[in-house]
Chain A
Amino acid sequence: MAEYLLIFRGGEMARKAEMHSPEEWQEHMQNWMQWMGSLTEQGKLVGAQPLKQAGKQVSGKSKIVTDGPFIEGKEIVGGYLICKANDFDEAVEISKGCPILDFDGMVEVREIGEIKM
């Protein structure tokens, strides 16, 4: 059993463009509840946090601070989740159920590195 980081990118634009009514929002929300709920039930959810859009970037030796990240909207990280899975394949299977994929979003799956003592 290892821990995996699921990074959610984009989806926001498509959600705004394609959903026009509270009923549609609620349906989408319910899909999330179902997905997150089943992860919780299986004891696989470690934690999750949404991220606000605005941020700063600090870079280089001279520690230049810029507003950002200025990348295309569809690549902006909207949040992340940490879950447990037996192997990489299972983590990928889990991420396939994420409702962000219904709206042109992306899920990046990364195994969290552990130092084996």
Chain B
Amino acid sequence: MSGNFDINQLSEHLFRHEAGRIVAVLTKIFGTENLDLSEDVVQETFISAMQVWTLKGVPDNPSGWLFRVAKNKAIDVLRKNKFSKQIDFSDPERILLKSEYTLNLALDKLWREDEIEDDLLRMMFACCHPELSVENQITLILKTLCGFSTAEIAHAFLTSEDTVSKRLYRTKNFFRDKKIKPEFPGNNKLGASIEAVLHTIYLIFNEGYYATHSNEVVRKDLIDQAIYLCRLLADNVHTQLPEVNAAMALMCFHAARLKSRLTKSGDIILLADQDRSQWDKTLVSAGNDYLNKAASGNKISSYHLEAAIAYEHCTAPTFARTNWRNILNYYNILATINPNPVVMMHRLTAVLKAEGATAALQEIEASTHKSEWEKSYLFHCLLGDVYADIAPQQAKASYETAIEMTSSKKEQQLLTRKISALG
């Protein structure tokens, strides 16, 4: 092996995703109840890689190298646990792993590298089991499939490592008690299972995209992982439903604008003021492709509509030339299928831009969501925008309420700038 010390040899997040792939395969062998064992094997595998690659360079096929080493380590674990109760050898798929005569053959049957993509999806469905809370689903999916440490999850969701460990502990117990196996949902359940997985992926994405997280690296990380997970679904013939492609489109369009949202010092730049030349054209065009693929079938999901709205923003040459009429139309359909307060509040911006302040005020007064909206600082910010041209004093009052309601410094600064811009 000639030394290859090219730093670009290791693609971004390579170790993370390889860790997820190895865990997905090992789970078939050790069972969902032994995620810890699988994670230990992954750790040992990386230690071996560290010892060899650092001095000899990255091998031509890093993934193949890791898998071969992980497989050998898995054999060691099986031998060591032959008489312990840790691994359930009574399972028909594992019974042959117990005897030395059949171990290698039985392992080869489970260890199919051409089936890894499917294993990853099976694992994804197990992580999003309907009886698990959404927090537990997110924690588990990041831990097992995206190779996050408990510290990294805690950091991403602004919670303590202790909380994350407890969530993992409870989830692992749940797997053990219910004997959950990673499997493909039956045809009649596929839609519902994919919906659950997409919802979890969407929440990971939103945490990265919208949460007022101070650390940009963490935010980008979550966005990358959400797109990675969704792409696994989109690339597989069994799971590439229209709504999966729509969710991919939506995330690509949003991610394309990521860089232009903040100044170098981390101040928020409003959509109207963003430098559109900075938007990532590759991601916009990937978004377009997914949106086209999403156009099959006769079901319109909320992802379709959110993607269509994001598409309008991404393809408007300037803010002034944004097609607010189209955007409002999409929001109106979205309101019929998913009329939650957040969607309805974002719709108000479209009403304001397409039909003017008076129309927006009328909508607000007539809405059943008004009392819910008033709890959110974003609503008061929006109300300020509505009043800005017609009643500057009221606009100022609304912005001030919003300032009191948010704890984010950057948002407070933005609102203060809005107040000083009032005539």
Q: A: which residues have CB within 8 A of B?
A: 12, 15-16, 20-26, 28-30, 32-34, 36-37, 40, 45, 48-50, 78-79, 81, 99
Contact = CB atoms under 8 A, between A and B. Distances in A.
Interface string B119-152: 0000000000000000000000000000111111
A23 B55 contact: no
Nearest to A15: B50
B157 interface: no
A12 B7 CA distance: 22
Contacts of B152: 21, 23
A73 to B, nearest CB: 13
Contacts of B13: 23, 26
A40 B5 CA distance: 8
B15 A22 contact: yes
Which among A22, A28, A30, A50 has the highest number of chain B CB atoms within 10 Å?
A22
Given A15-B50, A21-B147, A23-B15, A33 B6 contact: yes
Contacts of A29: 10, 15, 49-50, 53-54
B151 A36 contact: no
A55 to B, nearest CB: 14
25 contacts: A12-B47, A15-B47, A21-B149, A23-B13, A23-B152, A24-B149, A25-B15, A25-B46, A25-B49, A26-B10, A26-B15, A29-B53, A29-B54, A30-B7, A33-B5, A33-B57, A33-B58, A36-B3, A36-B5, A36-B54, A37-B6, A40-B3, A48-B55, A48-B56, A81-B55
Interface residues of B, number: 32
Contacts of A78: 51
B113 to A, nearest CB: 19
B149 A33 contact: no
Contacts of B148: 21, 23
Main SS class of interface, A: helix
Contact of B16 (A15, A23, A79): A23
B18 interface: yes
Interface of B: 3, 5-7, 9-10, 13-16, 18-19, 42-43, 46-47, 49-58, 147-152
Main SS class of interface, B: helix
B46 A50 contact: no
Given A23-B13, A23-B15, A32-B54, 20 more contacts: A20-B150, A20-B151, A21-B16, A21-B147, A21-B148, A21-B149, A21-B151, A21-B152, A22-B16, A22-B147, A26-B10, A26-B13, A26-B16, A32-B5, A32-B53, A37-B5, A40-B5, A48-B56, A49-B55, A81-B55
**Top 5 closest pairs, chain A to chain B, by CB:** A21-B149, A22-B15, A37-B5, A22-B147, A26-B15
A95 to B, nearest CB: 14
A22 B66 CA distance: 12
Nearest to A40: B5
Given A21-B151, A25-B50, A33 B56 contact: no
B46 A22 contact: yes
A39 B15 CA distance: 24
Which among A15, A25, A37, A50 has the highest number of chain B CB atoms within 10 Å?
A25
Nearest to A36: B5
A33 B9 contact: yes
B291 to A, nearest CB: 31
A23 to B, nearest CB: 6
